[in-house]
Chain A
Amino acid sequence: MFNQKHPKVHLLALMYFIPDAEKTFKTMKIKLEFEKESSAKFFFQKIFLTMQLTIFLICFAGLLSSMGQGKKIAGKVTDSSGAPLIGVSVVVKGTTTGVTTDNSGNYTIDTPDNAVLQFSFIGMKKEEIAVGVKSSINLVLIDDVHSLQEVVAVGYGTQKRVTLTGAVAAIRSEELISVKSDNVQNMLSGKIAGVKVTQKTSEPGRFDNDFQIRGMGAPLVIVDGVPRDNFTKLDANEVESISILKDGSAAIYGVRAANGVVLITTKRGVKGSGFRLEYTGYVGIQNMINQPEPLDAIGFMQLQNEKAFNGGATTPVYPQSSFEPYLNGTKKSTDWEGNTINHQALQTQHSFSATGGTDKLTYFVNFGYNQQDGYWKSGDLNYNRFNLRSNVTAEIAKGLRFEALINVMSDTKNQPSSWPTWNLFKGYWTQIPLNPYFANDNPDYPFFAADGLHPDYMTDSEKSGYQKYNQRLVQTNLSLEYAIPWIDGLKAKGMFSYDYRENENKLFRKTFNLYTYSESNQTYTPAPVNAPSRLDRQYAGYITSQFQLSLAYAKTLNNVHNISGLILYEENNRLADNFYARREFSMDAVDQLFAGNSTNQVGTMSTGDLYKITNKSLVGRLNYDYSSKYLAEFSFRYDGSSMFQQGNQWGFFPSASVGWRMSEEAFIKESDALKFISSFKWRASYGIMGDDRASTYQFLSGYNYPSNGYVFGGNWTNAFGMRGMPNPNITWFESATWDAGADIDLWNGKLGISTDVFQRNRTNLLATRSESLPGLVGANLPQENLESDRTQGFELTLTHRHKIGNDFQYNLSGNMAMSRTQWGYREIAKQGNSYLNWRNNTNDRWNDIWWGIDNTGRFQSKEEIFAGPIYDTSKGNSMMLPGDLIFDDWNGDGIIDGNDIHPIGYNTAINKANKNGGMPMLNYGFTIGAEYKGFDLNIVFSGAAMSWLQYPEQLEMPLPWNRNGLTMFLDRWHRVDEFDPNSAWVPGHFPSTYRDNGRNGFILPGSTSTFQKQDASYLRLKSLELGYNIPINLTKVVGLNKARIFFNAYNLLTFTKLTYCDPEHTGDEYAYTYPLSQTFNFGVNLTF
């Protein structure tokens, strides 16, 4: 049963850099085979592997190094912009020998053998460099994170944090990669106030996150200046920084920026920094967490009997005699899960980067590999990704800078069978444990499991086919920047980018037989599943090209007036095209399209992925500050979108912000009492943004073609879809964002406070007036720009950095953010009565009100039930039982029905079909970082509060469709003696097992109560990383400038009131979504 494909995928990748990889691989295979039961051994195997890898890399590096004698070292120290740093302290480690850099940033120092040089400068990160064989060391010191001098990326440029006037949060590479995940979004969780990340699943290659800024919806993501959608598939090691534009500062992105903007900047080489090779890699083990388990045979029969008795039956469905064989061990409950699912799986990530620079040329090249296995024992569920990035900048002539950024990504998600992954969980949760895994227990005849969902087949590509999702993308940016010589401070820049992405999928559905066995005539009857075999090929290509021309100007006048400005023209084209084909197979040995039959073949395409969209924009920005004390910024974007009709295509999106650095005023600066204030800045901003994404050419009348069809003359004939009435005036909705905040730094970083209050008012939201147009018109009105809403909230970030002695330094940071949305004007038809109006009229009301009935307790006895309000008007309360929920007769009419529904809480709109909560209202997080000698520790907590959810189907009720249920439902009201319908009741969490959906005791149809509404608040130890830097004088003998080993744990601890499930687990996919993982990773970080 065990399949060797599982470790193979990892090992193939490792083979390239493990000596004797082939041999190791074979040994591993053998070991893994006999260790399949032992996850602990499995785990240490991985550590062993990582150690092997580390040792190899160190040896490899050793070849590059040799020993040296005492000598003279010279060099130059610059900042990241290339400007020389004056007065940098250069000290031979462990000695008092030291010099400082001169006015050109140059230094010369005598060093003994095996010396290590320490470079330090205020506001910059300390660096240690082993001298080794080098005779000169040029170094770039990088701004210390959180330093006031830190430069952060903003729309179309960068700004010093100290003079920022917008609500912009930024995170640097080092902070990002302390969390280990395949998805960069997860690495941001809990770190930035207002960035809400919900990881819904850890399914390999799925990347199903809900990522929002301030609860405003999906943001626009800009990678290296271009809107790109590969956020989740970046290699974290290639990211230099991520900036989050939360307020009006996003307005510079105009018509697509209403939900905020994420700016991702990838790494570049640094001028004059020499050559540096870096490797980071880890291997980890994933553990399935917080996943419910199905009942065994005993539990199943108990609940079935109860259900029957509760429904009025007088004899048990399963008499005592049915229990006996399971109790005495002659029969075993079928474990539908255990045969196919591991609770552990592997993952690995490796990145190699080379970076460096001369005076004229800088480069950053990164190669990343990510591999993640799924929990299927077959190993057929997995994901792998290759990232390659090359960022090169060259000064090709004086003042003329050329930059080429090239990114290549290729990934594959493999998945067995033709079912979506969640079906496996549905499959094994619902299969009845009395049914055999194999018909007549004969392994040649898999049993005809309900819905054909036999886990053995669903998890094995060999048996049931596969799904292969490939994505390949190439992204290029080419730019030229020219410092115009006759005007000081003026730069012209042109940029062109061309991105190509292709999604290419192959879905092979293979027929297989499941069997029933008839004892009377001893025959196996096959039931063919997924017949006929069939292959789908899907292809979609996306091209995005963007073009920018800009002029930027920056100048300081009289040493106090700092002026900078930007004017930019941009054009963006997005094209998509696709097709897919399907054939059925008579013989499925060749899984290629040409081997299929022409009968029933399909060759068509999806209209959703066929488009051409053009945007044109003129962007401008003006910054002014007076002595870095009084700050002001104005920006605008004049944006045109092809999603609208002529005359409505263009919009103007301005924004303005101001700041006041109070700490620069004399009354603070010169006051001894206030000297603890290192920096104190007030800021306020206002901006207008748009969003054209919701629009679907509603200014056009006519016909969508094709849209449905009919069979004429034996042939399917495509039909028109009438578009109905057009709205020539349709346009984007607009969002106006206010933000006011303060950034405070006290005692030189010992306490940092940053806080914001904000409000986003959206107007012109699309809505249909059809509610008020008589139905006899026969056409829905098109959407119009009618409605409005308002999102508001606040954010608070506290930071603390401290250093004790020479060796111990630590930092703490905590943040919280709350946001909530309220409808403004909403279209609503006249309601029949005042109750309906109260329920349905959402004008000026919070958009997250949860309607339902209060559950005030449990009925303890039949007497109580009959004394209570009426639950079922046709039968009275005769079907109800002790343990059933007491609902509050809210309107006091003696009847529990839809009229008792009232607000019982809040969360984003719930609907019956998809009972999941929305985003939590409040998110918070805190991080702890500490360094002591060579050790470093980084801890990230992430939490959510005021979050509620409700699950459907199996997580709501036991035994749906008369099949199996989950063990959580054993915690229910039941009789002491399950065979005696008159014995006493034992209380439990759930009411006694239901008879059918019609019984009110468990669930009131069409509604929810406070019982189903569950508190999904949580606090999670999202990530813990402990690292150790091997002392440099040890590593340098093998040529390593840095060697760090680390242990990392992800989703280590979760504190939540939610019982039986994970608080981030969603109600999507009927709550059968692939679960979340806890991972333990071991890795190394080596710099040569």
Chain B
Amino acid sequence: MIKMKATKILLMSIFAISFSCNTLDVPPMNIVGDEEAFSSESGITAYMARLYWDLPIEDFNSNSSSIKGSPENNTHDLTGETMKCDPRRSDLGGSEFPYWDYAPIRNMNYFLQEFPKYAGNYTKAKIDAFTGEVYFLRAYHYFAMVKRYGGIPIVKVVLNYPEQSIEELKAPRNKEVDCINFIISDLDEAIKLLPSTSLASGRTNKNIAYGMKARVALYAASVAKYGTIQLDGILGIPAGQATSYFQMAYDAAKAVDGKYSLYNKGGDLANNFSNIFLDQSSTENMFVKYYKFPDYAHSWELFIIPWQIRGAQNYSGRANPTLDFIEMFDDTDGNPFILKTGTDAAPIYYADRMELFAKAEPRLKGVVIFPGDQYKGDIIDVRKGIVKAGDPITTITSTNSFSDKYNNMTIQGASGMGYNECTYTGFYIRKWLNPSIPRSLVAGSTTETPWIEMRYAEMLLIRAEAAVELKSLGDASKIDDAVNSLKAIRERAGAKKVYTAADLTIDLVRKERKMELFFENKIFWDMKRWRTFDLEFSSREIKILWPVFVWDQQKYYMKKTVFSDWKYTFQKFRYYEQIPNAEIQKNSLIVQNPGY
């Protein structure tokens, strides 16, 4: 009997045996600590990858609502360079590209604070390289905010809560000039510590830091010269410092001389220009952001390509060059490239639309697809509509349907205009498009074409601009260098006209910059630092071109017109963006920029 019970109790205890030694202290499996992060180079690399990922590079994906979005609302949409395919927008604001983010700065400060504790694991060269890299990244990051907001609070150390109270954590904005000097001192530190070649492609080096310093100094100099001091110096830079910043910009840009050269592989100049952005072996590349499918790629091809050769996802022509941009160039004879279209009363007819663009500067041909242009083996057929037999030239039959026909001819061309995924301006972008990508791979988040954030041409343009500005401030010693810098750029572009020291004005340098750096998300910030935005955008209408088929003539008539739905105006106070209200609510010491 007792044995029986014992057996039963034994059986019951079988369960008890499996009573495991489970503990409640189960760490999650994808979390590592500082030890793993800092004590090996692979940890450091992962840390750096995060800092680069967070870097606010205004690449293909940068748009008005996000640094990492889709490319259709890049800054060039606001400068008159391009116009969206579906242009719905009111006036130019000042808060199109907000970026107020101290999280990456915290990560950099944390690195500078903690990394020395693990320095014993690395050689001096590695320690310098890593530290220099973080200084560079911190400068890059601060500059992205300063160029938007002016003076901002400088945070150099890791702030902690609840160790510091919320009141202690609040800080007012520093003066803009102090921010600039802080950024420059970080860049000087980076220049001192960084090796001259990157640890890996995509990462920074000493020369890139020089280039960045040139950019920042040029910004500061322009603001000093053209801006005004507001809010006791939180905005603006004392005018007296313009000379020294221009000098600094010039010197820094010149420091990379001999390290890079303009991409010039000969052959057709237009193709050469377009290859700058595709040829990975380009000697002009300084700071490049790479993409890798499937991990992280962009959608430039998908969104930009002309309609008739679009990918399966049916996007196309989201941003297109304006007629304003086209007419900024000179023709191959060196004369202003004013398109000869005649008037409505006396139109000029073209059998081939491309006749109108025959004399386009090679650089322009390299970045724009004209109506009737050849691209990827197709004739890019852009047609606004048809003027029917007997109709006056002003009555254009247009449609937004590709199937509507007049006498068996479709009313709009195979690439528009009229349908809302097609160009409104008459042109398509060619820059950054890679013709070797097959149609099947014209899709979202698959394009690997790298973004060239900084190239040598910009250094030459900075030198030219700084030199010309210095001349206006009384130091003409570098004007020959400016002439030569522009000459190199214009020769490579196939531009005919040669500038001399005597006729080189700041306007010509700026125009050159606009023509050269088109679609590179630089012009927007240039127009702000030059304080020319409000002059260029005062009830401005964007110019567009309508290729119209004239049925009687069986020829084209090209009508210059404007996109009449919106007139764009830039108000002066918007040179500085609005600081996010949420930030001011959290930190009462922050003053808002004037006008908001």
Contact = CB atoms under 8 A, between A and B. Distances in A.
A610 to B, nearest CB: 5
B26 interface: yes
B28 interface: yes
A711 B88 contact: no
A779 B108 CA distance: 12
The residue among B5, B49, B201, B587 with the most chain A CB atoms within 10 A of its own CB is: B49
Contact of B50 (A549, A707, A962): A707
B24 A720 contact: no
Contact of B312 (A530, A616, A772): A530
Nearest to A997: B88
Interface in A557-591: 571, 573, 582
Contacts of A610: 29-30
Contacts of B12: 480, 482, 492, 494
Interface stretch (A218-226, A338-346, A721-729, A938-946): A721-729
B582 interface: yes
Given A703-B32, A712-B203, A641 B49 contact: no
3 nearest CB pairs, A to B? A778-B106, A531-B440, A494-B15
Given A322-B404, A776-B169, A712 B20 contact: no
A776 B314 contact: no
13 contacts: A318-B404, A495-B15, A532-B440, A616-B24, A706-B30, A707-B50, A724-B103, A775-B582, A775-B587, A776-B155, A776-B159, A777-B161, A778-B105
Interface in A996-1019: 996-998
Contacts of B155: 776, 778
Interface stretch (B291-299, B366-374, B491-499, B554-562): B291-299
Interface stretch (B71-79, B225-233, B395-403): B395-403
Interface in A772-789: 772-781
The residue among B15, B88, B161, B296 with the most chain A CB atoms within 10 A of its own CB is: B15
A830 interface: yes
Contacts, number: 266
Given A511-B440, A712-B203, A962-B400, A722 B15 contact: no
Interface in B403-449: 403-404, 408, 414, 419-420, 438-441, 443
B134 to A, nearest CB: 14
Contacts of B408: 519
Interface string B191-205: 000000001111100
Given A712-B49, A714-B290, A776-B153, A612 B29 contact: yes
B583 A775 contact: yes
Contacts of A711: 202, 289-292, 295-296
Contact of B314 (A322, A452, A724): A452
A808 B102 CA distance: 76
Nearest to B566: A874
Contacts of A649: 24
A607 interface: yes
Nearest to A528: B440
A697 interface: yes
Contacts of B27: 700
B49 A496 contact: no
A547 B18 CA distance: 8
A784 to B, nearest CB: 11
Contacts of A715: 292
Nearest to A613: B26
A702 interface: yes
A523 to B, nearest CB: 12
Contacts of B29: 607, 610-612
A719 interface: yes
Contacts of A716: 292, 295-296
B12 to A, nearest CB: 6
Given A704-B31, A777-B102, A962-B400, A713 B586 contact: no
A841 to B, nearest CB: 12
Interface string A607-623: 10011111010000000
Contacts of A528: 312, 438-440
A732 to B, nearest CB: 13
A304 to B, nearest CB: 8
Given A722-B50, A830-B585, A700 B26 contact: no
The residue among B47, B101, B161, B419 with the most chain A CB atoms within 10 A of its own CB is: B161
A775 B50 contact: no
Contacts of A778: 101-107, 109, 155, 159
Contacts of A159: none
A157 interface: no
Contacts of B582: 771, 775, 829
Interface residues of B, number: 98
Contacts of A717: 45-46, 49
Contacts of B8: 397, 399-400, 482
A1053 interface: no
A709 B49 contact: yes
Contacts of A710: 48-50, 52-53, 202, 296
A652 to B, nearest CB: 15
B30 A704 contact: yes
A1028 to B, nearest CB: 49
A450 interface: yes
A86 interface: no
B581 interface: yes
Contacts of A614: 22-24, 26
Contact of A775 (B36, B100, B294, B414): B100
Interface string A486-508: 00000010111000000000000
A962 B420 contact: yes
A955 to B, nearest CB: 21
Contact of A962 (B5, B200, B293, B419): B419
A485 interface: yes
A482 B10 CA distance: 11
B170 A611 contact: no
Interface in B1-22: 4-5, 7-9, 11-12, 14-16, 18-20, 22
A450 B107 CA distance: 44
A1075 interface: no
Contacts of A712: 45, 48-49, 52, 199-203
A651 to B, nearest CB: 12
A582 B293 CA distance: 13
A708 B439 CA distance: 28
Given A450-B314, A714-B290, A773 B169 contact: yes
Nearest to B47: A720
A734 B141 CA distance: 42
The residue among B11, B37, B46, B414 with the most chain A CB atoms within 10 A of its own CB is: B46
A722 B104 CA distance: 9
A771 B110 CA distance: 22
Nearest to A308: B400
Contact of B30 (A600, A705, A874): A705
A878 interface: no
A703 B202 contact: no
A831 B19 contact: no
The residue among B30, B34, B582 with the most chain A CB atoms within 10 A of its own CB is: B30
B25 interface: yes
B24 A961 contact: no
Nearest to A779: B106
B171 A397 contact: no
B295 A709 contact: yes
Contacts of B102: 775-778
